[in-house]
Each structure stands twice: as structure tokens, then as C-alpha cells.
Amino acid sequence: MSAIAADTVGALSPKTRLIVAAERTRLPRRVWVGISIVAVYVLAAVFAPLIAPYDPLAQDVVNSLAAPSAAHWLGTDELGRDVLSRLIHASRIDLLVGFLGAALPAALGTFLGAVAGFRGGWLDGVIMRISDIVQAFPTYILIIALVFALGPGVTSILVAFTLIAWVSYARLIRTEVLRERGLDYVSAARASGLSGRRTLWRHVFPNSVGQTLVYLPSDIVGATLGLAALSFLGLGIQAPTPEWGAMIAAGQPYIREQWWLSTVPGLVVVGFGLGLSLVGEGIEEWTRK
């Protein structure tokens, strides 16, 4: 807060100051809208066995490629499986990989970036050179190569995402830590006898992690889209496990007659991404207050 703004707030009545403080700490409406959208997806994933009308793996070839009806709200696929049930159950694997695919590299990159920015020297140089090497490769080609080498499955996908996506978090937090490290309160903390580790994690890190939190929702979207892309190419979650990207790929041959087989899973992915985008944009707006 600038000196002028501080003087202005100080001149207000106590009640008005409370209102101003509440406005500054209140999350924007778009955050709550985004949280509501994401909450619907999370609840669908948690309670999938209870709310899905059919077994997502149950086949009924007699009623394959059936149009949406009262019995099957989104129709059936080429093997007669209920599309709605598969969409609901697919949220369990897609959300799991989406959240972990962003959280794991965020934790690793934030730790390495904070240490590199605060310690500096040869350690900073080593971490940054490794990040340069990782960034030198095209992201999706490197992910595909790692998944191909490790084999398809959730574990290999998460390992690939972590080994690649940590770089963005490391560079982001390093920049913030470098800025904070030169401020007076850090010098005061060191002069008072606090160790470097305590100064970093108790004082510098809490003031530097804001941009990481802003970036995290968009990275969850990226991890979810990455999983969908890998599954679309046949390198992600393998059949018959339901997954949004695999469902889009399976419905592609029937796009002219049964367009909903690919369109609806695509819209589900878009809705999830929209919710997280609103959360990220709202948090960024809130941090600028």
C-alpha cells in the first residue's frame, strides 16, 4: 500500500476502515463461481459409484451406438456402454491426474526454486542449468518420449509431468525469492540470529509463494489436457478404463452420425478448464489488491 493510500485509509472512520479491509480481503466473485464448477466435478468423482446409472464397463452390443434417450441420457458407445456413466467415472482418473500432475511438480519446483534463489552460488547455477536443459526440449514430445519409455499408466504419466513441469515453478519462485531476499526485513532477520533455513521458510517463502498459487490452477488444466491428449493418442489411460480423452478418440469415427460421443466429453473437459481458469484469474486479481 502506498503512503497516500495509507493516509487516506487512516483518515476514515473505524467502521469505514473495516469495510475497506473486508473489501480487500474478499475473494472476487469469479473465484466462487470457479470453485462451484470445480466442486461439481469433484463431487461427481467422489460419488461416481452412487450417481452413475450403469456400470461404466458393462457392454450391451445389441444397443450399441444408441441415441440419447430416457434410458441412456447421453446414448451408448460402440460397445453399448452408457456414455454418461463412463463420463462420470472418467472424472475420477482425470481429476486425480490433473491435480497430482500439477501438485507434484509444483512442490518439487517450488522447493528447488526457493533454495536456488535464496542460497545462490553454485547451487543456483546447477538448478538453473538443469532447468535450461529441460526447457530446451519441446514439452509434449518429451512427455510422449517419457511415457513411451516408462509405459502407459497413471504412474508414468505423473512421473513425466513432474520431471518436466517443475521448471516453471522453479523459475517463478526463484524470481520472487531473489526480490524478497534483498529487502530490509530479511537483513533484520539474519541480524537477529535466525538461521538461513528459518529465514527462508518462515519469512521469505510465505511472501514469495503467491504467484505459484496463481499459476497452479492453470497448470491443473494443462495436466488434465495433457492426459486427454496422451489418451487420445493411445499413450495414456488404456481401455477399458473410462477417460475423457480416450472417449473423444473412440467417438471420432462416428462423429457425423453420433456426434455426441466426442462432443460431450470435449465439453466436459472445457467446463473443467473454465472453472479452474476462473479460480486462477480471480486469485490473481485478489493478490493485486
Contact 223, 102 (CB under 8 A): yes
Is a pLDDT exceeding 50 seen at residue 174?
yes
What confidence score (pLDDT) does residue 3 get?
Answer: 43
Per-position DSSP letters for 87-138, written without gaps between them: HHHHHHHHHHHHHHHHHHHHHHHHHHHHHHHHH-HHHHHHHHHHHHHHHTS-
Please state, in angstroms and rounded to a whole number, the distance separating the CA atoms of residues 17 and 11.
9
Cis peptide before 240 (omega within 30 of 0): yes
Residue 120 has pLDDT above 80, yes or no: yes
Contact 90, 242 (CB under 8 A): yes
Q: Determine the pLDDT at residue 211.
A: 79
**What percentage of residues in the chain have a pLDDT greater than 70?**
90
Torsion 90-151-146-142 (CA) sign: negative
Whether the pLDDT of residue 8 is over 80: the answer is no
What is the model's pLDDT at position 141?
86
The Cα 23–Cα 223 span in angstroms is: 33
**Distances from the Cα of 177 to the Cαs of 114, 168, 171, in angstroms?**
6, 14, 10
Separation CA 280–CA 276 (nearest Å): 6
pLDDT of residue 239: 83
Per-residue pLDDT of 255-275, as tens digits, reads 888 999 999 999 999 999 999
More confident residue, 105 or 198: 105
DSSP state of 268: H
pLDDT score of 9 more than 70: no
Question: Is pLDDT at 6 greater than 60 in this prediction?
Answer: no
pLDDT at 12: 52
Average pLDDT value for the chain: 85
Kindly calculate the radius of gyration of the chain based on its CA atoms and give it in whole angstroms: 24
Residue 140: Cβ within 10 Å count: 13
In tens, the pLDDT along 53-97 reads: 999 999 988 989 999 999 999 999 999 999 999 999 999 999 999
Q: What is the CATH number assigned to the segment(s) 3-287? A: 1.10.3720.10
Cell numbers placing 171? 523459475
* pTM for the full predicted model: 0.82
Nearest to 112 by CA among 171, 158, 161: 171
Distance from first CA to last CA of the chain, Å, rounded?
9
Query: For cell 472424472, what's the residue?
Result: 91
Span 188-198, pLDDT tens digits = 777 777 777 77
* Confidence check: pLDDT of 22 > 50: no
All structural domains of the chain with their residue ranges: 3-287
For residue 107, is pLDDT > 90? yes
Contact 165, 223 (CB under 8 A): yes
Confidence of residue 14 (pLDDT cuts 50, 70, 90): low
What percentage of the chain reaches a pLDDT higher than 90?
A: 48
